[in-house]
Amino acid sequence: MALRYAVASGNWSNPATWDGGTLPTAADDVFANGFTVTINGTFTVLTIRNSTNVSPLIANGGIFTFANGGDLTCTASNGLILTLSGSTYILNFDLPSGQSATLRANCNNAVVTTNGRAILVQNTGTFNMVGNYDISSGSFNGRATIVVTASTNINIIGNITNSASVGNPFTLWINGGNPTINITGNVSGGSSNSVNGGCAILSQTISTINVTGNITTATNPTVIVFGGIFNVIGNVNGGSLYPAILNNTTPATIDLLGIITSGNAYPAVQGLITTFVKVRGNVVNTDTYAAIYAGRVTIDNNVTSWQFKDSTNTIIRTLYTAGVALGNPATNNVRFGTTYGASSELTGTLRVPSASNVLSGVLTDNTTGTLLMTPADFWNYLISNGFTANSIGDRLQNASTVATTGGQIASYNI
């Protein structure tokens, strides 16, 4: 491992930007040294930093920024190291619509300083981020790992976590523009016991956020949205002091596809009277706490159940949608016209003959047939019905016999 630092502002690919006149390698920790370095190609290092180092003497400050197509990989467990003073960002995304860049790095903004922030996204291009993003504990306010101030498009593959237990830091802080942010990974909140602190995601603007992953909380809200659209494909679990998803200012639309479970003292989702929650997965109320608390709630067809507790908080009562397979027999195995099911939504179609129509001793339904037929029954039937029009008896009465034919011959005169 070596320490490398910029000696002038300029492109990363220019040797004159760097000490010694050579480009940093994958084994290097790279310092901005008070300058602006533009990431204008594909590069791999251990870390990037705008902190100071005394051997050799490296200054605080400076920033790394992206050119179109820039692609930076930091392989250390914490790839971005922030200065110990001020609110200077270490990495800036400032590309317009139609341009893009990629960061491949884990970032745990561990700097304990007021307004310490790592990554600034301030333009409308597309920023691709691959890695896990977290923020550590610290009693200093205004800290954040990622700050978004523009209507950008951000694609994050990795987990968004706030592991702070004190202070009010945010891992992903959206405070400007109308961005669209796609997160493929789990989102989890902190435990600093503050409604505004310890958030993994704080959106203070009308944004569209799509999460494919699970959302869990400790004692802080994991996600706070002030409006816009928040979509989740994954499970959501509430906490003991706050919900996992909180919409408490401007009403939002929250779309949930997964198992939604309240915490042991708080819902999974809490909104305003005008918050619109679309439920597209099963719901579980823990103890007597509703998993979803909002003024407008809809349930889509693929939701099969919503679990409640009774008033004693001991017996589970589950509401099911019509047609859910609950171990009921198929309709073609149930007597015709019989209604059954949790809400009498099913009707049997099986035709079962009555016992009086089934031969005596033959099993039918839950009994045996009672129909008896004797030789006299057959004979009487033939007598009473044997010579009706076109019957066999009617046809046979005109058939020739030995007697009738002999009589015809005997009566024949020559």
Instruction: State whether 79 and 145 are in the same domain.
Output: yes
| Residue 383 belongs to domain spanning | 376-414
Q: What share of the chain is helix, strand, coil (3-state, %, to 5)?
A: 10, 40, 55
Q: How many domains does the chain have?
A: 3
| Residue owning tokens 């949608």 | 321
Q: Tell me what pLDDT residue 381 has.
A: 67
End-to-end CA distance of the chain: 141
Instruction: State whether 95 and 177 are in the same domain.
Output: yes
Taking the C-alpha atoms of residue 200 and residue 209, their distance in angstroms, rounded to an integer, is 13
Structure tokens, 315: 């017996």
Instruction: State whether 12 and 157 are in the same domain.
Output: yes
Instruction: State whether 35 and 57 are in the same domain.
Output: yes
Q: What percent of the chain shows pLDDT beyond 90?
A: 53
Residue 47 lies in a domain: yes
Residue 288 lies in a domain: no
**What letter would DSSP give residue 329?**
P
Q: Tell me what pLDDT residue 1 has.
A: 66
Residue 242 lies in a domain: no
Residue 265 lies in a domain: no
Kindly state the helix (H) or strand (E) to which residue 242 belongs, with its residue range: none
Q: Tell me what pLDDT residue 9 has.
A: 98
Query: What's the sign of the alpha-carbon dihedral 214, 215, 218, 222?
Result: positive
Residue 170 lies in a domain: yes
Instruction: State whether 150 and 192 are in the same domain.
Output: yes
Taking the C-alpha atoms of residue 60 and residue 58, their distance in angstroms, rounded to an integer, is 7
Domain final residue, candidates 202, 226, 250:
226
The yes-or-no verdict on residue 340 having pLDDT over 90 is no
Looking at the DSSP assignment, which residues form a beta bridge with residue 106?
none
Instruction: State whether 41 and 112 are in the same domain.
Output: yes
Instruction: State whether 219 and 185 are in the same domain.
Output: yes
Domain final residue, candidates 226, 257, 281:
226
Mean pLDDT of 20-40: 97
Q: Please provide the average confidence, as pLDDT, over all residues in the chain.
A: 87
Instruction: State whether 336 and 401 are in the same domain.
Output: no
Taking the C-alpha atoms of residue 257 and residue 297, their distance in angstroms, rounded to an integer, is 13
Helices (H), 199-307: none
Mean pLDDT of 90-115: 89
- What φ, ψ does residue 281 adopt, rounded to 5°? -150, 175
Instruction: State whether 22 and 151 are in the same domain.
Output: yes
Exposure of 299 by Cβ count < 10 A (0-12 exposed, 13-18 middle, 19+ buried)?
A: middle
Residue 360 lies in a domain: yes
Q: Considering only CA atoms, which of 204, 295, 189 is closest in space to residue 242?
A: 189
Residue 255 lies in a domain: no
Residue 181 lies in a domain: yes
Instruction: State whether 363 and 382 are in the same domain.
Output: no
Instruction: State whether 150 and 69 are in the same domain.
Output: yes
Q: Tell me what pLDDT residue 112 has.
A: 60
Mean pLDDT of 193-201: 73
pLDDT band at 139 (very low <50, low <70, confident <90, very high): low
Q: Please list, in sequence order, all residues whose beta carbon lies within 8 angstroms of the beta carbon of residue 232, skipping any fewer than 6 positions away.
A: 211, 215, 245, 254, 255, 256, 257, 258
Q: What is the pTM of this model?
A: 0.79
The yes-or-no verdict on residue 166 having pLDDT over 80 is no
Domain final residue, candidates 226, 259, 290:
226
The yes-or-no verdict on residue 97 having pLDDT over 70 is yes
Mean pLDDT of 83-87: 67
pLDDT band at 161 (very low <50, low <70, confident <90, very high): very high
The yes-or-no verdict on residue 345 having pLDDT over 90 is no
Q: Please list, in sequence order, all residues whose beta carbon lies within 8 angstroms of the beta carbon of residue 4, skipping any fewer than 6 positions away.
A: 18, 19, 20, 24, 28, 29, 30, 31, 45
Taking the C-alpha atoms of residue 160 and residue 163, their distance in angstroms, rounded to an integer, is 10
Instruction: State whether 396 and 351 are in the same domain.
Output: no
Give 82's Cβ-side CA count (13 Å radius): 29
Poorest-confidence range of 208-212, 262-266, 314-318?
314-318
pLDDT band at 21 (very low <50, low <70, confident <90, very high): very high
